[in-house]
């Protein structure tokens, strides 16, 4: 199998379920975000005869053992497809039905689109188009210290492990003891951006297939944080959320 064939196989198998698909010829690796929740890496040996896959389930946690299910090392189409199905099944086991129901509906819609239409759908900006056009007009921009305060006020006990970098103009924090979120302000335009960090520098800036509003006034940032909060909650089981919120209330 060639690296192009691996790329095409991953792309066609996970159609509608992935974004940030990339190829490294140097490391003979195909990477992507799967279900906006996991980072998948598929690699080929130099000979192209051996296949390997690993899944990042948290920023610093990756696995290659999928609940005892074997991932074949044979880099042939049928074997690779069988391995990708094992990975897909494992990912779906880790995600609650409430998330999968919404995500699958969106994925089926995206899968029916052409290549260009699919890309535009994945990159669709959730905010009002007219608002995005005048991102620098008629609004009071916040600075990075104000963003830090807004984030802490909005999430309260739901977030922790805060890191403020004034020089690079970003705030990082962990939400629900699970997701590492990076929020920042563009140094040139002052626009707001956020992403979920997964596996080193690899990150996804989409939330249920949509980008966040770019505006960096207080109300727009709060709307963006609300989207982040809602999408993170969708990915977590209800029983965990109940236990987490009870624990945090008892600690106050």
Distance CA(183)–CA(228), nearest Å, equals 11
Whether residue 44 is contained in a domain is answered as yes
Residue 122: both structure tokens together = 């994945």
Asked whether 37 and 235 are in contact (CB, 8 A), the reply is: yes
> In which residue are the tokens 């099944």 written?
89
Distance CA(136)–CA(159), nearest Å, equals 29
Question: Which of these three, 50, 80, 95, is where a domain ends?
Answer: 95
Distance CA(189)–CA(152), nearest Å, equals 23
| 161 and 245 fall within a common domain | yes
Whether residue 45 is contained in a domain is answered as yes
Domain boundaries, position 165: 124-251
Own/partner contacts of 17-24, CB < 8 Å, gap of 24 or more, are 17/88, 17/103, 17/107, 19/122, 19/204, 19/206, 19/209, 20/202, 20/204
| pLDDT value of residue 117 | 54
Whether residue 107 is contained in a domain is answered as no
| 65 and 153 fall within a common domain | no
pTM: 0.74
Whether residue 112 is contained in a domain is answered as no
| 133 and 37 fall within a common domain | no
| 182 and 241 fall within a common domain | yes
| pLDDT value of residue 158 | 92
| 140 and 246 fall within a common domain | yes
Distance CA(162)–CA(128), nearest Å, equals 30
Distance CA(112)–CA(182), nearest Å, equals 32
| 130 and 247 fall within a common domain | yes
State which residues of the chain have pLDDT below 50.
Answer: 119, 123-138
Whether residue 211 is contained in a domain is answered as yes
Nearest to 198 by CA among 182, 222, 213: 182
| 83 and 132 fall within a common domain | no
| 40 and 130 fall within a common domain | no
| pLDDT value of residue 132 | 43
**Tens digits of residue pLDDT in 152-198:** 999 999 999 999 999 999 999 999 888 889 999 988 788 888 888 77
| 214 and 144 fall within a common domain | yes
Q: Please tell me the total count of domains within the chain.
A: 2
CA terminus-to-terminus distance, the chain: 56
- Beta bridge partners, 171, equal 164, 183
Whether residue 108 is contained in a domain is answered as no
Question: Which letter, b or e, does each residue of 63-87 get, where b requires 16 or more Cβ atoms within 10 Å of its Cβ?
Answer: eeebeeeebbeebeeeebeebbebb
Backbone angles phi, psi at 92, to 5 degrees: -70, -30
| 131 and 247 fall within a common domain | yes
Whether residue 237 is contained in a domain is answered as yes
| 25 and 132 fall within a common domain | no
* 114 burial type by CB count under 10 A (0-12 exposed, 13-18 middle, 19+ buried): exposed
Whether residue 116 is contained in a domain is answered as no
Q: Quick one: how far is CA 78 from the chain centroid?
A: 28
């Amino acid at each position: 199998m060639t690296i192009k064939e691996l790329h095409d196989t991953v792309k066609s198998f996970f159609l509608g379920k992935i974004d940030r698909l990339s190829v490294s010829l140097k490391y003979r690796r195909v990477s992507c975000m799967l279900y906006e929740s996991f980072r998948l890496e598929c690699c080929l040996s130099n000979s192209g005869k051996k296949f390997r896959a690993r899944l990042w389930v948290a920023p610093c946690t990756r696995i290659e053992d999928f609940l005892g299910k074997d991932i074949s090392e044979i880099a042939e189409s049928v074997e690779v497809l069988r391995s990708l199905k094992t990975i897909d099944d494992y990912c779906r086991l880790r995600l609650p039905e409430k998330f999968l129901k919404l995500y699958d509906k969106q994925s089926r819609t995206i899968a029916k689109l052409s290549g260009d239409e699919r890309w535009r759908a994945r990159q669709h900006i959730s905010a009002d188009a007219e608002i995005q056009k005048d991102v620098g007009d008629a609004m009071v921009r916040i600075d990075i210290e104000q963003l830090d305060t807004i984030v802490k006020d909005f999430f309260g006990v739901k977030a922790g492990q805060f890191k403020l970098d004034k020089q690079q103009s970003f705030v990082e924090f962990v939400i629900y003891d699970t997701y590492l979120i990076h929020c920042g302000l563009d140094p040139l335009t002052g626009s707001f951006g956020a992403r979920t960090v997964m596996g080193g520098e690899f990150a996804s800036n989409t939330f249920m297939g949509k980008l966040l509003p770019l505006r960096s006034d207080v109300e727009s940032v709060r709307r963006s944080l609300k989207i982040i909060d809602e999408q993170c909650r969708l990915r977590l089981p209800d029983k965990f959320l109940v236990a987490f919120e009870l624990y945090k209330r008892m600690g106050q």
